[in-house]
């Protein structure tokens, strides 16, 4: 469920110009529930948020949020902490989000990550919500919290815990049994969130999103949350508060179209889904998730690197932050382009007189057309399937005003003795800016690309935008004693422009790949950030600043014509990072559960006759559904002792799984075969019936036995027991069994995962023999395993079942380098096999060969991955179908990206196997 957004016109009809109070779901602040008597005028936004100990007021009118009486255009980016299981790296991504223009982070909290069993909750380690909220406040980001209980997000059961399926509770209804569990979860979350509310000055939690699919549940939900001390505004289905969460976008052009369209429609609360996608590690992903990588098109990718989608988000975020005109816009008179392929939305700020024009081209070709803007027909080119935001009437510092421009404004700010305005466009475009100048100014070309002309009170500046090149033009005079610095950049160059707000004034930094922090200390500005290549560093800072340090080291700098501090020598790039080859592998086969003599007396007897599942129990058969016996995640084993099995010819095993399910079966230790469901019964459930014949040789052997083959042991392994989001109570695992040639008496036992890992959580491991006995953990003694290479298995070495591989390796990444490392599976053998990847005991996800979208590269997050001269344990569990060699192919490490800088990383707890 996503919250719908309202158009500005619809919102106006509901709210007029008054500030909304109780319509937000209750009191909107700890101090007051009503806003000012009239519209709040356009003005400077509130300063960066933090846990400042002061009370704050939060309200909303039809234009924007109002924080302490100032307009705030919320530009949120979504990040799921559970998809980055390394708390140190939360700071890295949050700092990047702030640097790239976001002023808020939207977080969803997965109930199933925190609750392994009814009444049991864990908020420690990678689930430390208190630490995340503190880190967000320290990164100067507001927080929008979404604890569900249902969150969707391609998470197993939409975030609902697996154990809920076995309680009889009907999820997302007013069923008292469900509300009892959901209330307990929300109370545990709210106890943490309440301590970090911006309204109280103890944190930066600004908004609270809640899951209320039924109107009847709203009152209960409201009372529950308010009783827990939550007093920030509530967002839920049906509220008039417009939360705009656009669909995922594929590239920069689509991102521009989508988000500029939201601005044109009057979206009040902008959210980028996803700012950082991350990893659906372990058994976290829902059936709808095709790979462990969640949203590969996110602005910051799984390896924490910027992607092509980032530039327009960076530009728009800083525009909303640093140009207040865009926080209060009304629809203005209709404007039409000369070429109808260019659609125009015209908006105006009633306070400042600034106008905005959102131009959109949905055609397959670039379109050049004239557009009337403030009385002038301006020729503009809009690339194919792209969009532009243009403006007129913007005040650019003291006494300067933009007449019009063919490129988008990005920021306007005053720093020290200079006013700075930045404009951005596409590389190869000719940028044309026109300034209203009552008297002739004195322009100065600081970079050779710029040209200008003055005519009838207007200064025309033209600049050809080149790839990754910034062009600077200084304008003096024209009835102002302050210099105006025009910066014109293409997308790549804009990603190296970093505005930053300090308590002593604003700062603008140009050059490095990332600016994390700027601190003014006497006459010194202390900068921290990242570089990948050698980069020049240019800094505009308040008066009195004459020295610069970068990552703690003084750099030589001097003042230039742009009234900036420019370093004499470029900042160094990142040194080369060498990765080791993966060798020294050990190999061992498992699945002893398939042997008839295997002792299963400790397994759970599967003899129930009723189930809480929405799947009917087949008549005359016991319940075989895994959830009913407490096995909710990972692989599940079944063993059936058959009496009266003489003459058995075939077995029909019906089963239900999530996506990419798999069933393997053995009779008396002999493989019967492997089966995969062909199609899903909707988006969440895949069902199939494996018709497995008993081989003639096995039937002959059974007849020759002393008992004439009257008894037998059937062993079955079912993979992919993930729960759907639409119907999390649908059965998983075996659903029924039928036999041909005999009518045996059947006694079933079932076994899944052992107790949840107290550190890694309940979704980390399943019911494979090696998992139950710690083969994936550091410290396990594999000295008696055979030596083998996963890539060098003989083709005749084929078996149906599970084979494990283990090795250790060491990295020695310099402490000043942030290296992102991936594990790559190459040259996989033919056939259908699955590889479960464990790093230091953490389940990084599954590779399914021959499947569309199968992951070949697994990002290994620093913290779980030891990068500083420490040993790492890698374990692979391979499920092979008997038609291919039971190995994953070539396995290697790959450097996905590196930077000089980063954040300090603490090792994530990765306990090894306990000694018996």
Each residue's pLDDT tens digit, 510-562: 999 999 999 999 999 999 999 999 999 999 999 999 999 999 999 999 999 99
Percentage of the chain surpassing pLDDT 90? 79
Region of residue 26 (left: phi > 0; alpha: psi -120 to 50; beta: else): left
Please give the Cα distance from 565 to 581 (Å, whole number): 45
Q: Which residues of 830-867 are buried (b: 16+ CB within 10 A; e: fewer)?
A: ebbbbbbbbbbbbbbbbbbbebeebbebbbbbbbbbbb
Strand partners, 36: none
Please provide the average confidence, as pLDDT, over all residues in the chain: 91
The two tokens of residue 16 are 């007029």
User: Which has more confidence, 398 or 153?
Assistant: 153
Position 399 scores a pLDDT of 78
Sequence length of the chain is 916
Residue with tokens 């921290």: 528
Mean per-residue pLDDT for 577-587?
95
Each residue's pLDDT tens digit, 45-57: 999 999 999 999 9
Mean per-residue pLDDT for 744-771?
96
- 691-700's contacts with Cβ under 8 Å and 24+ in sequence apart are 691/650, 691/651, 691/652, 692/650, 692/651, 692/652, 692/653, 692/665, 693/649, 693/650, 694/648, 694/649, 694/650, 694/651, 694/667, 694/741, 695/670, 698/667, 698/668, 698/670, 699/648, 699/649
Mean per-residue pLDDT for 709-738?
95
Task: Name residues whose C-beta falls within 8 Å of residue 453's C-beta, 6 or more positions apart in sequence.
Answer: 459, 460
The answer on pLDDT for 125 being more than 90 is yes
Nearest to 515 by CA among 44, 140, 907, 107: 140
Position 351 scores a pLDDT of 95
Each residue's pLDDT tens digit, 178-210: 999 999 999 999 999 999 999 999 999 999 998
What is the pTM for the complete model shown? 0.94
Mean per-residue pLDDT for 720-727?
90
Please give the Cα distance from 145 to 132 (Å, whole number): 11
Task: Name residues whose C-beta falls within 8 Å of residue 749's C-beta, 6 or more positions apart in sequence.
Answer: 600, 603, 604, 605, 606, 638, 639, 640
The answer on pLDDT for 143 being more than 50 is yes
The answer on pLDDT for 131 being more than 60 is yes
Position 682 scores a pLDDT of 58
């Amino acid at each position: 469920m996503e919250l719908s957004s309202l158009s500005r016109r619809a919102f106006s009809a509901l709210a007029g110009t008054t500030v909304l109070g109780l319509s937000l779901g209750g009191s909107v602040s700890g101090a007051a529930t009503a806003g000012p008597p009239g519209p709040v005028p356009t003005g400077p936004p509130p300063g960066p948020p933090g846990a400042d100990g002061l009370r704050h007021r939060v309200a909303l009118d039809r234009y924007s949020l109002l924080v302490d009486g100032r307009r705030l255009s919320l530009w949120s980016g979504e990040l799921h902490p559970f998809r980055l299981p390394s708390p140190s790296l939360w700071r890295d991504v949050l700092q990047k989000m702030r640097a790239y223009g976001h002023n808020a982070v939207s977080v969803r909290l997965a109930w199933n990550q925190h609750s392994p069993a009814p009444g049991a909750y864990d908020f420690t380690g990678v689930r430390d919500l208190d630490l995340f909220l503190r880190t967000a406040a320290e990164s100067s980001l507001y927080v929008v919290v979404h604890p569900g209980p249902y969150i969707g997000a391609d998470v197993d059961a939409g975030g609902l815990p697996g154990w809920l399926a076995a309680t009889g509770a009907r999820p997302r209804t007013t069923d008292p049994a469900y509300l009892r569990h959901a209330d307990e979860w929300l109370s545990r979350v709210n106890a943490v969130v309440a301590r970090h509310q911006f309204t109280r000055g103890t944190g930066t939690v600004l908004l609270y999103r809640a899951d209320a699919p039924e109107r009847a549940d709203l009152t209960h939900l409201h009372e529950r949350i308010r009783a827990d001390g939550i007093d920030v505004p509530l967002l839920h289905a049906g509220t008039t508060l417009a939360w705009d969460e656009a669909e995922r976008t594929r590239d920069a052009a689509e991102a521009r179209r989508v988000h500029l369209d939201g601005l044109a429609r009057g979206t009040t609360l902008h959210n980028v889904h996803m700012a950082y996608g991350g990893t659906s590690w372990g058994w976290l992903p829902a059936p709808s998730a095709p790979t462990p990588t969640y949203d590969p098109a996110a602005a910051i990718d799984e390896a924490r690197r910027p992607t092509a989608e980032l530039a327009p988000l960076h530009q728009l975020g800083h525009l909303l932050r640093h140009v207040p005109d865009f926080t209060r816009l009304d629809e203005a008179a209709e404007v039409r382009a000369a070429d109808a392929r260019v659609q125009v939305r015209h908006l105006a700020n009633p306070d400042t007189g600034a106008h905005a024009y959102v131009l959109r081209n949905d055609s397959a070709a670039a379109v050049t057309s004239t557009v009337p803007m403030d009385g002038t027909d301006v020729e503009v080119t809009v690339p194919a399937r792209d969009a532009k935001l243009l403006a007129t009437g913007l005040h650019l510092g003291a006494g300067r005003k933009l007449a019009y421009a063919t490129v988008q404004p990005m920021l306007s700010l005053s720093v020290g003795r200079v006013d700075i305005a930045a404009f951005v466009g596409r590389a190869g475009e000719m940028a044309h800016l026109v300034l209203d100048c009552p008297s002739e100014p004195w322009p100065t070309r600081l970079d050779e690309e710029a040209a200008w002309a003055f005519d009838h009170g207007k200064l025309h500046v033209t600049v050809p935008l080149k790839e990754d090149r910034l062009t600077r033009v200084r304008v003096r005079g024209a009835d102002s004693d302050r210099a105006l610095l025009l910066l014109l950049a293409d997308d790549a160059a804009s990603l190296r422009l970093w505005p930053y707000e300090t308590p002593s004034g604003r700062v603008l930094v140009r050059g490095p790949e990332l600016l994390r922090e700027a601190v003014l200390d006497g006459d010194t500005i202390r900068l921290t950030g990242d570089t990948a290549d050698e980069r020049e560093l240019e800094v505009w800072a308040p008066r009195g600043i004459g020295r610069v340090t970068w990552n703690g080291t003084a750099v030589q700098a001097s003042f230039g014509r742009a009234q900036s501090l420019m370093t004499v020598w470029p900042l160094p790039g990142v040194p080369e990072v060498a990765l080791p080859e993966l060798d020294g592998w050990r190999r061992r086969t498992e699945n002893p559960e398939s042997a008839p003599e295997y002792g299963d007396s400790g397994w759970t007897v599967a003899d129930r006759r009723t189930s809480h599942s929405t799947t009917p129990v087949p008549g005359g058969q016991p319940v075989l559904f895994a959830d009913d016996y407490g096995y909710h995640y990972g692989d599940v084993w079944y063993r059936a002792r058959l009496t009266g099995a003489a003459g058995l010819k075939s077995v029909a095993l019906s089963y239900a799984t999530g996506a990419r399910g798999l069933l393997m079966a053995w009779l008396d230790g002999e493989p019967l075969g492997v089966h995969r469901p062909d199609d899903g019964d909707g988006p969440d459930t895949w069902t199939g019936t494996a018709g497995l014949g008993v081989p003639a040789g096995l039937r002959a052997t059974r007849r020759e036995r002393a008992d004439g083959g009257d008894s037998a042991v059937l062993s079955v392994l079912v993979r992919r027991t993930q729960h759907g989001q639409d119907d999390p109570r649908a059965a998983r695992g075996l659903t029924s069994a039928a036999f041909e040639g005999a009518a045996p008496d059947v006694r079933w036992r079932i076994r899944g995962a052992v107790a949840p890992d107290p550190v890694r959580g309940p979704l980390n491991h399943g019911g494979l023999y090696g998992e139950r006995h710690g083969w994936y953990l550091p410290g396990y003694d594999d000295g008696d395993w055979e030596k083998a290479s996963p890539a060098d298995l003989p083709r005749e070495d084929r078996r149906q079942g599970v084979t494990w591989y283990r090795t250790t390796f060491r990295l020695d990444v310099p402490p000043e380098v942030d290296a992102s490392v991936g594990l790559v599976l190459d040259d996989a053998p033919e056939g259908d096999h699955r590889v479960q990847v464990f790093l230091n005991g953490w389940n990084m996800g599954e590779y399914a060969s021959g499947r569309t979208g199968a992951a070949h590269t697994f990002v290994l997050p620093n913290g779980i991955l030891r990068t500083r001269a420490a040993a790492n344990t890698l374990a692979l569990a391979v499920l092979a179908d008997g038609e291919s060699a039971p190995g994953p192919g070539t396995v290697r490490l790959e450097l996905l990206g590196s930077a000089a800088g980063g954040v300090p990383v603490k090792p994530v707890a990765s306990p090894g196997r306990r000694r018996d």
